[in-house]
Structure 1
Amino acid sequence: MGITARGAGLLVAAVALLGVGFRFAYPELTVLGAAAGAALGHALLTAAWRPRLVVRRHADPDRVARGEPARMAVTVANTGRLRAANLVAEDRCGDRVVPVPLLRLRPGRDTRVGYDVPTGRRGVVPVGPLRVTRRDPLGLVSLTRPYGDTVPVWVYPRVHPLTAAPTGAGRSLDGRVDAVPQGSITFDSLREYVIGDELRRVHWRTSARVGELMVRENVDTSLPRIVVVLDNRAPAHPDLVDGVAESFEAACEAAASVVTAAVRADLPVVLLLVAPDATVLPTPADDRGPTGGGPLDLLAAADLDRGDGAAGLRTATARLRQERLGDTLVFLTGPGGRADLGLVGALRGGYRSVVVGVLGVGQPTAASATGPLLIEAADAARFAAEWDRIRRW
């Protein structure tokens, strides 16, 4: 609760009038001071009244690509039974303030306001909470309270269509078996039996030893697994335009394009960040698969890490070497990451194909005959064009 300049002046006048009136026995001044004090008391009581408001939000849609339209609908309902709400309210949408009219909102009624969400930049746009300001009729006291929760709108990077996809190292004489949920005939591990498992996959010897049914878990070795690594170190993207690293934005678009192409081809894909601690998701991602609530959410919330860039890359490459998360590695970095490409090239022993994309540079160079495939491009569109020209995985 805050007192306005008018209220502060009236408070000073009330104290002065009461002091002079009592000190020099002027009843007229005492009455004026008491009236001023009563006005302030009434203003405090009026502003302290908390209207019973319920705020509901709906984003249509809540996940969009950069530049696509998105709208936020805000519904404010007055659940009180006695008084109408005559308030001043505003909604926070990213860096903007959107006015929400709540003039004489009667009990049991609601009002609805819709506005466009800015999607010109990749990121997570927080919308809300609704801030309601309550003032007294004389404008002496003002009180602002938040209503409702903050709802994020995910703005994904642009996706550039890719026609080519890595073929992978594994081959199956019977063709791809990605429709089999438990994999093919390659043994991976044992797990407890659950209702619905086929009895022919029960490992009876182990089940007899542990005293409960154990089922063989197989993996599919015929499918290539793509690992996309986004270099989000600040030294890798040194050039800033209005506080934005355009090379990093291009790298995010390239990563989104590769992930989307892999999903459309029904290929397993993993997205990793060199510095994962630099990304904090405002809300848990829901289970929408790779094209929603997964890698694209991670790309929308990704930010540059200002820490020790060299140490972060060494840690990331060590993990990739030890865990071997797939057979095709796609590493996307900026102009400042060229000096560290030796660490990425050393991963060729664990990955059949290694593709390095350097975004934010001039004319692309041809891929070398030895070593990792190198794609240099000024933006993600040029990267997509050079990607489709690759004939050697």
Structure 2
Amino acid sequence: MKSGKVRLTLRGAGTLVLGILLTGLGIWWRYPGLTGFGAALTGLAVAGFVSVLRSVPVEAQRDVHPRTVHRRSVCTGTLELASVSRRFPVHLDATDRIADEPVVVDVPPLGPGERTSVDYRIPTERRGVFPVGSLTLRRKGFLGMADSRTVLDDTIEVRVVPRVLPVRGVPAGVRRGHIGADERVEHGGTDLVGLREYVPGDDLRRLHWATSARAGALMVREDADPGRPHLAVILDDRPGGHSEPQGFEDAVELAASLLSAGMVAGHPVRLMATSGAADLEVPAGVIEAGGADADMVMAVLADLQPVDESANAPSQLPARDLDVVAVVCGANADLAPLLLDAGRASVGVVLVVDPNVQDMSAMGSALVLRAPRVEELIQAWDTVVAR
């Protein structure tokens, strides 16, 4: 903690000015009563100032939990206070700053040597990373004539990630063959579609020894698995595509829910933004391996905001990601290029957050689902797609 300035309040400053003025007038007019009254007012202001010259007799510690929280979920700040005063009670006001906005913390009076803990709500309506701090403790002086401030200057970052709503799952049995062939693999899982570096927990029987010898590191083969198709989610993050800010929030939460459902089911997933601001691949089985990659997906979605359309366009989805493609966009989006992306997949779905329409239709080889809210789009996905 660091001490701030001791200063007169508005009441104290007014009292001091009035006292000096009356004292001067009393002396000038030789009016002892007026002089005494002015001196008394001046003395009150000075006494109030002197009463807070000593630093706030309190030890303070603040924490926030959890540090990563889903939007609209509970995040709590905890302020622990311990009075070091041995004779007098301590009356404090506390104000914390959250995303540069002041939040008043209700602190009860502290008796001599008393300890207390105060919980207060951290707002989680907006996605992103927000600083919590610094926290200011203010002690009022005698009769409210002055106050002193102590600043708890440590700052804690809170990451608000999108909500994840329950999704039934990803359609199974639609894996394409290797090297982008159009035939589907209906049985077995021996069709080689890629190689990646070994991570602890991988099945040693899937090691590709020839490639491992050439690369100087253990490499694991990725085989086609009809029960675990690739899921690619393309999120339209262009500002003109969404009719209102809440529409983009629903789109982000829909993307988060679909990706989370795929990862929980053990599918390899990929997140792409139409602006090129995000392109993230997550291999199969990350939840069982500890979930670091899954946390990265939520972190990327937490920071994603609508960007200018002049940003770099994303690369085209490779053939191995064309099993299930879900395109998430707003009501004002240009559907033509999005339908092309979805139409290349074995199962292509365009999910449109449209505040005015709720329906489903087929455009070419892609299915188009429209609904005003994320909950209704997920319900349509569960009914029509993940049967």
Shift of 1:262: 0.4
Write the distance in 2 (CA, Å) between the matches of 1:204 and 1:322. Answer: 27
Write the distance in 1 (CA, Å) between the matches of 2:325 and 2:315. Answer: 9
Write the distance in 2 (CA, Å) between the matches of 1:61 and 1:152. Answer: 5
* Contact 2:194 2:222 (8 Å CA) reproduced: no
Residue among 152, 163, 175 paired with 2:189? 175
Residue 132 of structure 1 pairs with residue 134 of structure 2: no
Residue 10 of structure 1 pairs with residue 5 of structure 2: no
Please give the per-residue CA displacement for 1:230-275, whole angstroms capped at 9, x wherever unaligned: 2233321124xxxxx3422332332132112202210122334445
Match of 2:237 in 1: 232
Residue among 329, 333, 341 paired with 2:329? 333
Q: Which moved more, 1:355-364 or 1:123-132?
A: 123-132
Write the distance in 2 (CA, Å) between the matches of 1:200 and 1:321. Answer: 28
* Contact 1:334 1:358 (8 Å CA) reproduced: yes
Match of 1:256 in 2: 256
Go from structure 1 to structure 2 and tell me whether the alpha carbon gap of 1:326 and 1:217 turns closer, same or farther (over 3 Å shift): same
Residue among 77, 84, 92 paired with 2:81? 77
Report sequence identity in percent: 23
| Aligned alpha-carbon RMSD (Å) | 4.8
Match of 1:265 in 2: 265
Please give the per-residue CA displacement for 1:359-387, whole angstroms capped at 9, x wherever unaligned: 1141323223x343322223223322432
Write the distance in 2 (CA, Å) between the matches of 1:378 and 1:80. Answer: 56
Residue among 338, 363, 371 paired with 1:377? 371
Shift of 1:133: 1.3
Residue 355 of structure 1 pairs with residue 349 of structure 2: yes
Go from structure 1 to structure 2 and tell me whether the alpha carbon gap of 1:185 and 1:44 turns closer, same or farther (over 3 Å shift): farther
Q: How many residues align?
A: 351
Please give the per-residue CA displacement for 1:9-57, whole angstroms capped at 9, x wherever unaligned: 2332355367668889999949955982784376166156244433233
* Contact 2:93 2:106 (8 Å CA) reproduced: yes
Please give the per-residue CA displacement for 1:268-298, whole angstroms capped at 9, x wherever unaligned: 22334445769xxxxxxxx972796333344
The TM-score normalised by the length of structure 1 is 0.68
Secondary structure at the aligned position of 2:219 is classed as strand
Which letter maps to 1:363? Q
Match of 2:291 in 1: 289
Write the distance in 2 (CA, Å) between the matches of 1:365 and 1:123. Answer: 29
Shift of 1:219: 4.3
Structure 2 gaps of 5+ residues are 178-184, 279-288
Residue 86 of structure 1 pairs with residue 91 of structure 2: yes
Go from structure 1 to structure 2 and tell me whether the alpha carbon gap of 1:164 and 1:35 turns closer, same or farther (over 3 Å shift): closer
The correspondence of residues 1-393 of structure 1 with structure 2, limited to 5 A, is 1=5, 2-16=7-21, 29=35, 36=42, 39-40=45-46, 43=49, 46=52, 49-59=55-65, 63-64=69-70, 66=72, 70=74, 72=76, 74-78=78-82, 80=84, 85-91=90-96, 97-107=103-113, 109-115=114-120, 121=125, 123=127, 129-147=134-152, 149-150=155-156, 152=158, 154=160, 156-157=162-163, 159-165=165-171, 167-170=174-177, 171=185, 174-175=188-189, 188=195, 201=209, 214-222=216-224, 224-239=229-244, 245-275=245-275, 289=291, 293-303=295-305, 305=306, 308-309=308-309, 311-312=310-311, 315-316=312-313, 319-321=314-316, 326-327=321-322, 328-337=324-333, 340-347=334-341, 353-360=347-354, 361-368=356-363, 370-390=364-384
